Amino acid sequence: MTKGKRKRYRTTIISTIILICMLVMVGALSACTRQSNNNSIDDGIKEEVASNQEENKEGQDKDSDIKLEEATQVKEDPIKEDNPESELNEVPQGSDGEKAFDYTVDSSGLSNKGLSWSFKRNSTHTPVIGYNQGIELDKYDAHYKVDTEEKVIYLTFDEGYENGYTATILDILLENDVQAAFFVTKPYIESSTDLSIRMKEEGHIVANHSVTHSSFPELSNDQIKEELEQTAQAFYDATGYNMDLFFRTPSGNFSERVLNEVRNQGYSSIFWSLAYVDWDVNKQPGAEYVYNHIMENYHPGGIFLLHAVSQSNTEALDRVLKALKQEGYRFGSLYELE
């Protein structure tokens, strides 16, 4: 090979090598570019996925919060228009609605020590002190007075049996435009149905005084329930009226368990802040004693207990009502009690 050919041959090889190198470099550069683009695309996808996951998480959190809120909300039962007992459970006029009590409290842990209601009188026309024996009466919807400075009296009569005076008492109340509460037993309802009806028709409260007039601390929970239910049912059957949900325990005998069981049946227990020995028909104190005793001991928010079997109460009643009105007092409804 001549010197000139060898020179051209070397030049061709070098050019080829250079071309190959250039092609290799271009290929490598292209690959890098594609990888970079792919990385950018992957990063974009990752960001979109992360964003979607975050949105989904927020949505799930909101759904969880809503479900938790719905689960923890106390839902009110709808009023059942077709409830056949709706009329029997209707809140009487004058009531401020159902009180917020848990009517399912178990009595097993409560004291059943038998107690007798009493109070300390005063002659200063200020509220008396009731001996509640350390029991929180409000806890059991039990009352013996109303804490108020208003001149208001709550007049109540106990009716264990009829002794011939109730009609006259109702006449006097009507003439003086005074309404009272009558606590009646089942035997009274059955023997004096006309008077029981008249009480309701003239706007008085007619409430529960039991069937047998027994000492309630000596009764079982089931027996207490029966005493209350049977008296209320007898009143409805005889008069067509619902019994007002107030209860006066016979002879003022009670215990914490009794108060709880009475409340569990939906009743308010009503004690008193004025009373005297008027129930013994053979030892009547006389009309003058009744008048003087009441006028010496009346007080704002007082719950007065009178027995309708008393001749003395009947003879003094008109004078007492007029005198108390003259002192500026009105006669309120037990539905005002809180």
Which spans in 179-310 are helix H? 186-191, 193-201, 221-239, 256-264, 287-297
| CB within 8 Å of 90: residues ≥ 6 apart | 242
CB 272 within 8 A of CB 304: yes
Q: Is 204 a catalytic residue?
A: no
- Among 279, 309, 274, 270, which residue's Cα sits nearest to residue 295? 274
Q: Is 158 a catalytic residue?
A: yes
How many degrees, rounded to 5, is the angle at CA 177 between CA 201 and CA 181? Answer: 55
CA distance 294 to 304: 9
Active-site residue (options: 141, 143, 158, 204): 158
3 state SS of 327: coil
DSSP letter assigned to residue 193: H
3 state SS of 162: coil
> Can you read off the two tokens belonging to residue 255?
């215990």
Q: How do strand 152-159 and strand 142-143 relate by DSSP bridges?
A: unpaired
CA distance 144 to 131: 10
Active-site residue (options: 143, 213, 299, 307): 307
Q: Which residues are part of the catalytic machinery?
A: 158, 307
